[in-house]
A = this chain, B = another copy of it.
Amino acid sequence: MNDERIENDTPAPTRPDGLWADDLTPGLTFTSREYPITEAGIIEFARQFDPQPFHLDADAAVGTFFDGLVASGWYTAAVTTRLLVEAFPVATGIVGGGGELVWPSPTLPGDRLHLEIVVGDRTWSTSRSNRARVVVSHQTVNQRGEVRQRTTAQLIAWARPPQRESRRPAQN
Contact = CB atoms under 8 A, between A and B. Distances in A.
Interface of A: 11-12, 14, 45, 48-54, 62-65, 67, 72-74, 77-79, 81-82, 85, 92-103, 150, 156
14 contacts: A12-B62, A12-B63, A12-B64, A14-B53, A48-B82, A49-B78, A65-B95, A72-B81, A78-B78, A97-B102, A98-B101, A98-B102, A99-B101, A100-B100
Interface of A is mostly: mixed
Nearest to A151: B98
Copies of the protein in its oligomer: 2
Closest 4 CB pairs of A and B: A12-B63, A98-B102, A11-B65, A49-B78
A95 B49 CA distance: 14
A145 B51 CA distance: 27
B93 A53 contact: yes
Given A97-B102, A102-B97, A82 B11 contact: no
Contacts of A98: 73, 100-103, 150
Nearest to A14: B53
Nearest to A63: B12
Contacts of A72: 81
Contact of A97 (B50, B79, B103): B103
B96 A103 contact: yes
